Amino acid sequence: MLKILRYLVAGLLIAIVSLQPVFAQDTLTDSLETAREDWDFGGTGTINFSQVSLSNWAAGGQSSLSVLGIANVFGNYKKGKNTWNNTLGLTYGTIKLQNQRIRKSDDRLELNIKYGRQATSDWFYSAQVNFRSQLTPTYTVSRDTLLSNFLSPASVLASLGMDYKPNDKLSVFISPVTGKFTIVHDQKLADAGAFGVEAAEKDALGNPIPGTGQNFRKEFGGFVNVRYKNEVLKNVVLQSKLDLFSNYLHNPKNIDMNWENQVDLKVNSFLSASIFLHMVYDDDILIKTGQNDDGSDIRQPRLQLKESLGIGLSYKFD
């Protein structure tokens, strides 16, 4: 646990040290009003609902009720040649099927901090720290097996590089120096080798030794982050985030991918619809694809897909 905290603190220190030039330019005589002009705060909150009710329905089916909440907030600083962009995204959803207990349908937490100092009109020297995890535990349908939890897994990327920002719609961050850290705090998941960490050691009989699985996996490589946001049609906003990472020290040709795409359709000031598609590929994360003749699981890397469609209430604030 102490090792995990050391790496988290190290990542945050990169961001703090990077911010020193920003605050060094602000004198103690700056007024509060002037400081406010350098900041831009805002965000969106959305609640999507889905409900099906069946009674004596001959074709069959199940009554259901689902709720999905999405919140995205930002705080951006710009003064002179210095920029500091902060975003926090939260997603949480539940679903209730007939005669079944409430289950979680979605759970995501992401924090991104990026400092940039302008080098040319379109290029910035940049440092970025990204943190991803979830809020609550996830279990199997029978609730007898834990699949994931807060900090199990968690991903931390600390990067130094150049950021290409030709306009307010597009940002392409290129980092040849990136540390990627995977955390699996839950020891049972770590012993199972979940999410790419090293599994528990085995005794002479081939049985796993509890408590010997690694809780931490560190990688060093190159990273590309592309962010795009644009109103492609009237009241239709497209947001896309693509992360690509190559581990210099292990199979650098195998590129880890995390790609999120969201289309928001605004009906009026409060009513909206959204389509979300999330694709993940990491050759260190093995997915169960079948069973061997001896009953053991066959696990292989696979493209992970998640899609959601929601209609609900949305509110934008500045």
Q: How far apart are CA 258 and CA 264, in angstroms?
A: 20
Q: By residue range, what is the domain housing residue 225?
A: 2-25+98-317
Q: How far apart are CA 127 and CA 85, in angstroms?
A: 11
Q: What confidence category does residue 244 fall into, taking pLDDT thresholds of 50, 70 and 90?
A: very high
The answer to whether position 210 is within a domain reads yes
The answer to whether position 107 is within a domain reads yes
Residue 187 — φ and ψ, nearest 5°? -70, -35
Q: How far apart are CA 306 and CA 112, in angstroms?
A: 21
Asked if residue 158 lies in contact with residue 115, where contact means CB atoms within 8 angstroms, the answer is no
The answer to whether position 42 is within a domain reads no
Give per-residue pLDDT as tens, 66-89. 999 999 999 999 999 999 999 999
Give per-residue pLDDT as tens, 88-105. 999 999 999 888 889 999
Q: Is the pLDDT of residue 317 over 80?
A: no
Q: How far apart are CA 53 and CA 203, in angstroms?
A: 53
Residues 129-158, mean pLDDT to the nearest whole number: 94
- What pLDDT is stored for residue 19 in this prediction? 44
Share of the chain above pLDDT 90, in %: 61
The answer to whether position 204 is within a domain reads yes
Contacts for 268 with CB less than 8 Å, ≥ 6 apart: none
Give per-residue pLDDT as tens, 32-53. 566 667 899 999 898 988 888 8
Q: What confidence category does residue 1 fall into, taking pLDDT thresholds of 50, 70 and 90?
A: very low
Give per-residue pLDDT as tens, 221-232. 999 999 999 999
- What pLDDT is stored for residue 30 in this prediction? 54
pTM of the model: 0.81
Look at strands 255-266 and 271-281 and give their pairing: antiparallel
Task: Report the mean per-residue pLDDT for the chain.
Answer: 87
Q: What confidence category does residue 17 fall into, taking pLDDT thresholds of 50, 70 and 90?
A: very low
The answer to whether position 77 is within a domain reads no
Contacts for 289 with CB less than 8 Å, ≥ 6 apart: 298, 299, 300, 302
The answer to whether position 46 is within a domain reads no
Q: What confidence category does residue 31 fall into, taking pLDDT thresholds of 50, 70 and 90?
A: low
CB atoms closer than 10 angstroms to residue 198: 15
Whether omega for the bond prior to residue 153 falls within 30 degrees of 0, making it cis, is yes
Q: How many domains does the chain have?
A: 1
